[in-house]
Structure formats: C-alpha cells, structure tokens
A and B are shown apart, each in its own frame.
Chain A
C-alpha cells in the first residue's frame, strides 16, 4: 500500500507527500510529535495517521509466513468446507425447492429471487420470515427476521395465516413434542412469530440506502436475526433514477454492504427482484431487472416462473449447485410442495 492509498483526509495526504513521506516505511519510522511538527497538525491527528499507516502495513503482511496464517484474514479451503457443512439452511416450505437450493436458503450468502408479478415472490419472502423462526428443537434456526418492504405489499393478515400454517405443520410432524415442554408450546403462537419480524417500510431509495447502512448497528443490537429480506430491491431504483451510472454505483455499494453483513452476522440475505423485458436475438425475453452489472452481485439466484399451470423455481446461478428447476405451490398455508400436476390447488372457499 502506498501513501496515496491510505484512508486519510486528502489534505493530510497532500501534506505527507509534500513533507517527504513517500513510503509507508518512512512513515512508520516517524513519531507522532515529529509528524505533527512536519505536517503542522495537531499531535492527536498525527497519531490517527500513524495508526492508519500501521494498520495498513500489518494487513499487507507479505513479509513472510507467520505462525498461524499466511495472510491475515484469509481462511484455507479445508476450514471453509467444515464451516460450510456446519451452516444451517432456512426451509423454503417446499422440499423440492429446498432440494435444488441444496437444503434451503443459505446463511452467510446473498440470494436473489425474481419472477413475474403474482408468481409468489412476496409469499416466499413472508414464508422465509416465518420459517427462520421455527425453534431449534423442531429443526429450525430459531432466529428472527428483518423484513424491508419497499413496495407496501406486506399484508399482515397473510403473515398471520402463514404463521398458523407453519405451526400446524410443526405440530403434525412432531406430535410427541406437543405434549411435553410447556415452555416450547408457549412459543408456538402466531403472535410470537409475528413479534419477531422487524418490519421497515421504505418510501424512497435514500431511505433504502439509509436502512442498509443502519442495519449494521441494528444487527449488532439484535444478534439473533438470521434473515434479512428486501421486498423488493428494485422498486425505488426503478422509479426515481435518471442517472444510470449513479444507480449502478449505489446498487453495487448496497450489495457489497449486504454481503458483508451476511458474513459478519451469520445470516441469510434475500433480495426479491422484479422482472423486465429485454430485446435479445430478435425477440423480447424476460429477465430480472436492474441490469447486467447488478446480476453479478448476488451469490445465488432463483427465478420463479409459470410452467403451464404450475409454479416452478429455477436455480439460475449458484457457485456450488447445478442448474435445476422444481415445482412448488402457494397454498393457504404458504409455500408448499406442488401436489401432483393434475390435482387442483387449495381452494379458498
């Protein structure tokens, strides 16, 4: 790292160079009072600069293999494997979807889910916010959920309905657990599921940036959050932006921050995205919104689509899993496996 790359104020940087500090080595030899005199700044400011410089020197760390790791912050592939294996997944509600996703939505990863209007993106989002809360003793994560709603399509009656569906399924699978452990039973109420969903209603893209910046602090205070859902990441960025270069820059900043958060707090980030039409090879095709550079920013991408009369999920992008598709259904209880193709969906009446 060079002096020019140090994350310090521009004027300080210029002063450093002017005072002849052209390399980090020169800088690390200086003492704070000396530096303060050379740059004619306050001593505590000089201390700050030195602290930054020492930090930068350390992270460079290429001076030779140290005891534990060759490169600070790196992790070897073997450790990563065991880390990945111990990671938990969030059930989507449909076993077929879980299958193509390799067990469910992964913690520590960013997953993008896109699809045409009405295919069930919001339904899946709500389902995940509920399923992440399934207690550990019933095979869930027992975490909490952050739901960032940019579109206003979060209907709380429906959330209640899905929570009820989830509870009735748990009790069906674990009938014996139902009798013992009154403490566990007490937890299984739709109200307590709803109480653990933190809901942010976002009305502009500035608020969207703000909320993602604020999440860092929020998640520090609420360490049991295991999933962050943004429904949808697209809406305000499609409405309010004229400057496409700025949009790309802001969006990539957001996706980097989200990725960092997912790693730091061991949680899953789910971004719901809208679709748009794109003219390629002489015809219009559907594609997810926000353009090509955005499409690089998530780890996994699941596209929901209609295949005839059935809803299908298509795993479009994943670093470890093959491209695959699987049917699913949206029932009154929430997202579930598709029943045989010719059977009808659950009726309301």
Chain B
C-alpha cells in the first residue's frame, strides 16, 4: 500500500490536482514530508495540508481486523503446520513448524541442521495421510550440502511403508526443487522470482540452508558497516513470503565464536560483569552468526547444541513455548529424539550456544 498512487485514491479533486502537480505521486512521497514542508510544496494553508495527509493516510492504512476474526480465519484455514514427527518437539511447538512464520535453526557445524532440514523437506512432500503437506518444497542450498541420496535414505528408514511402494520415492523426491545460488545477488534474484511462482506451483515449504553462508561470503568483500543491508532486505522479503503464501519458512544459521567471553549487557548491568566465574572463559562461546537484528525478526528459534555428552534441540525463542530442550542423535533415519520429555533450560539466553563435552566432528 506504501506505493499506492495518489491519483487512484479518489481524493477530493482540488487535493488530487495539487498533489499531482507537485509530483507527489505515491503515499510514500506525501507521508515522508513534514507538515510544514508539505505546506510549502502545496502552497496551501495548514488545513489543506492536514486534510491531504489525513486523506492519504486513511487510504494507505491497511484495514484492521479484530483478533477474533484472525482466530476464526486461522481455525477455518487449518493451521498448515508442518509436523516434524519428533513427538516431543511437535508437542512443544503445538503441532510443528508454523505456517506464515520464520523459523530459524541455528547450531555449530556438523550437529545436524542439514539433516533436520532434509527431513522437513521430505515430510512436506508426503501425502496428507502420512502427516505431510502434500506439496512441493523449495530448497535453497547455499552450501552445496543437499544430498538426495541421504534424503532418500532418511525416507526409506523412517517411512518404509511409503518408500517400498514403486515409484513413490521418485515422486516425492521430484517435488523437491533445489536451488544453488552462488552469490548474494543470485540469491536475491531468485527470491524475487519466487514470490510469484510459489503459489502457482503449490509450494508448501521454503528452506534456506544456510542464510549465514551467503552473508559471510559477502562480508569479506565489503566493509562491515554494509553487512546489514542485504540481510535486512532478505529478512523482510522472507517474512513477507511466509505471510503472503502462508507456508512455513525454515532458515538455518551458522555460529561464530564470540570475541569477548561474556554476552552483551546493558550499561546498567555493567557492575556485575566480572563476578561470574571465570572458568567459563575457557569454554567455547558460540553465538549465532547473524546478529541481534536477525534474532529479533525470527519468530521461532531452534538451537542445536552439544553439551554434557549429548546433542540437544533447544526451543530458544517461541511465542508459544517456554525454553525446553530435547536430547537427540542423528541416525540413518535422520534425527531421533532420545526422550520426548523436554528438559527445562536453565540458561535461556537465546544467543548462547554451547558446544562442548562431545566432539561432534569425531563421530
């Protein structure tokens, strides 16, 4: 609505004429000007300027809905959630990965993020009677880690009854479209094209594995100050895609080690800074690679981490769920939860990711 043309707003004619004459063609042009400047541009009194702003605002403003209407629409539509088939996690997320929202999977390399995404991709293609979404999947693979063989293996091991049927494996795998953009510009271009095609081709899941790879390759070329920009764009765009087509969007994120050994604090917390035990300083401190702005924008964050001999999936941010963690292992059938009983997470700082006690790479 921001770029809605003033000429199409059916303003009172005298207002419409003045605005058109001053080349204020979109709502954005009119609303970005302060009142006094607008008076100058329009050569009109304050009442005229205010009336123009009020008119344009009213039309550019999206209509409201009551929360009840939202709830009814939501119930009528069905929630469109993608069940992960990990029972504990599904319960914690009230049924699975929600549609229309951005879900992030973050963790150190080799812990199982891609395994998780492969399984989700497979699940989304399954017919509804097997708990799938019966649709296509768009898999944006920036790290060239997508392996069809592994995916089929996961499928055969977890759903033997389906994959034993002749030709079904081919049909399922045929529904997964893998894109391998090599640069950020290629990625943004394919995103732009995607918006139209998503609905046409009945795509029910979008996976980006990983977001950070593109951003970190770009960062080497440009100064750090510019990093936020393409990220911001991609962020808004992914969110709008999720909402517009009401599908789950899953994005993976890498980790990096933090330069200083404690998390960021507010200035009023500074005095407490050094009293915590220093031993922590020797452990690896990992934080999600895309910064705090990114973390604000994702609706659900699942942290994959390893400590005290196990790997855990931690629901670190979710509007529906307190922070709980589930131990898991990666087997030939994909990710398996060792227990469906969640463990309350004592340290809910969602930026902190633990990786110790188990050498992930040695396995």
Contact = CB atoms under 8 A, between A and B. Distances in A.
B45 A7 contact: yes
A151 B297 contact: yes
B235 interface: yes
B346 A286 contact: no
Interface string B337-356: 00001101011111100000
Interface stretch (B53-61, B125-133, B182-190, B278-286): B53-61
Contacts of B65: 198-199, 201
B27 A210 contact: yes
A123 interface: yes
A239 B342 contact: no
A277 interface: yes
A209 interface: yes
On chain B, which size bracket covers the interface? Answer: 35 or more
Nearest to B4: A206
B243 A277 contact: no
Interface string B219-241: 00000000000001101100110
A250 B32 contact: yes
A286 B267 CA distance: 7
Contacts of B39: 7, 9-10
A155 B45 contact: no
A66 interface: no
Contacts of A213: 31, 53-54, 57-58, 61
Nearest to B344: A344
Contacts of A206: 1-3, 27-28, 31-32, 60
B67 A306 contact: no
Interface in A233-247: 234-236, 238-240, 246
Nearest to A114: B266
Interface string A264-305: 000000000011110010011111000000000000000101
Contacts of A235: 296-297
A194 B264 contact: no
A257 to B, nearest CB: 11
Contacts of B67: 129, 147, 156, 159, 194-195, 197, 199
Interface in B86-128: 88, 91-92, 94, 98, 100-101
A249 B35 CA distance: 11
A198 B64 contact: yes
Interface string B238-263: 01101100000000000000001000
A196 B341 CA distance: 37
B264 A277 contact: yes
Among B64, B98, B243, the one with the most A-chain Cβ atoms within 10 Å of its Cβ is: B64
Given A194-B68, A250-B32, A210 B351 contact: no
A123 B321 CA distance: 11
Contacts of A202: 62
Interface residues of A, number: 89
Nearest to A146: B64
Contacts of B43: 9-11
Contacts of B361: none
Nearest to B70: A156
Interface in B312-330: 316-317, 319-322, 324
B167 interface: no
A287 B266 contact: yes
Contacts of A7: 39, 45-46
A207 interface: yes
Nearest to A126: B319
A341 B90 CA distance: 29
A239 B321 CA distance: 28
B5 interface: no
Contact of A156 (B61, B74, B242, B324): B74
Contacts of A151: 239, 296-297
B331 interface: no
Contacts of B76: none
A203 interface: yes
Nearest to A314: B268
B362 interface: no
B61 A207 contact: yes
A306 to B, nearest CB: 6
Interface string B263-306: 01111111000000000000000000001110111110100000
A48 interface: yes
Contact of A209 (B57, B266, B324, B347): B57
Closest 4 CB pairs of A and B: A213-B57, A206-B2, A7-B46, A118-B317
Interface of A: 7-12, 48-49, 52, 116-118, 122-123, 129, 146-147, 151-161, 191, 194-207, 209-211, 213-214, 216-218, 232, 234-236, 238-240, 246, 249-250, 253, 274-277, 280, 283-287, 303, 305-307, 309, 314, 316, 323, 330-332, 344-349
Interface of B: 1-3, 27-28, 31-32, 34, 39-40, 42-48, 53-54, 56-62, 64-68, 70-71, 74, 88, 91-92, 94, 98, 100-101, 232-233, 235-236, 239-240, 242-243, 260, 264-270, 291-293, 295-299, 301, 316-317, 319-322, 324, 341-342, 344, 346-351
28 contacts: A10-B39, A48-B47, A116-B295, A116-B349, A117-B292, A117-B295, A117-B317, A118-B350, A151-B239, A195-B66, A200-B62, A203-B62, A206-B1, A206-B3, A207-B62, A213-B54, A213-B57, A239-B235, A275-B292, A277-B264, A285-B264, A285-B266, A305-B266, A305-B269, A347-B344, A348-B321, A348-B324, A349-B341
